Amino acid sequence: MTTLDIKSMKGREAITVLTCYDYSTARILEEMGIDIILVGDSLGNVVLGYESTKDVTVNDIVRHTGAVRRGAVSSFVVSDMPYSSDSSKELAVRNANLLVDGGADAVKVEGKPEICKYLVQSGMAVMGHIGHLPQTAEKPSIHKDFEKLLKEAEMLQAAGCFAIVMEMVDRDVARKITDFLDIPTIGIGAGPYCDGQVLVINDILGMYEDFKPKFVKQYAHVNDEIRKAVKAYKKDVRSGSFPGL
């Protein structure tokens, strides 16, 4: 999978994207043919236990990118540029290089078309992000301003982004923007008309119980299975049936 492959899927085949933060899960995602694996800064909440993604560092993303790459050796891996890691052009390039050296094929930037353009000119593959921007937004809300969002999307496309995430964008607005752009859109809470979809894997597996966005579909209840397994293990150790004689 390359950026050209991803762009060629627009209007032809829906693009599947899932977040991932570890080796074992990455192996499964590669086996199942997920198109793009995103090492998202959501790892701050669902893996590291931070209250905010703002606490995630470049080193955090680098370490988890390496784990994902070792598990998914041939998948297309995109790594988030964490909060304040792209506050200047020079800093953005330095940190993006760290992520690429750590195993990423591309980086994702929230907003900031000028930063995106500079990264692309520096040889990076960049995924854009419009709508709700978790790193800087005060609270989640549905974005409906078509003209504003279209302008932002067109600027990111002109900057050289190969795809754009649209988060919490009104579904009809997302459809219009998707139709306008030449590059794929990846929706999260943006309705069914995007060129692809992305979700946090811990959410779809039922492994993150602190908060569940309304747009998430839960495909499994893994935490319940973990509780059953731990309960059975504890019982066996206390009773002496494990490890046995």
pLDDT at 119: 98
Task: Look up residue 94 and give its two tokens.
Answer: 């330095």
Q: Quick one: DSSP state of residue 88?
A: S
- H helices present in the chain, as ranges: 3-8, 23-31, 43-46, 58-71, 89-101, 113-121, 146-159, 171-180, 201-204, 222-239
Domains and CATH numbers, the chain: 3-239 (3.20.20.60)
| CA distance linking residue 50 with residue 52, whole number of Å | 5
- Asked if residues 126 and 97 have their Cβ atoms less than 8 Å apart, the reply is no
Q: Give pTM, 2 decimals.
A: 0.95
Q: Is 30 designated active site?
A: no
Q: What does the pLDDT look like over 134-161, one tens digit per residue?
A: 999 988 899 999 999 999 999 999 999 9
Residue 210, Cα to own-chain centre: how many angstroms?
A: 19
**pLDDT at residue 212 in the model:** 80
Task: Report the C-alpha gap between 168 and 66 in whole angstroms.
Answer: 29
Res 213: pLDDT:
82
Q: Which of 30, 110, 152, 167 is catalytic?
A: 167
Q: 80: which 2 tokens?
A: 């988030």
DSSP string, 224-236: HHHHHHHHHHHHH
Which amino acid is residue 196, in one-letter code? G
Written as six digits, the tokens of 124 are 């990076």
**Contacts for 93 with CB less than 8 Å, ≥ 6 apart:** 118, 119, 122, 124
Can you list the residues of the chain whose pLDDT is less than 70? none
Rounded to the nearest 5°, which phi and psi values hold at 128? -85, 175
Alpha-carbon span 21 to 37, nearest angstrom: 9
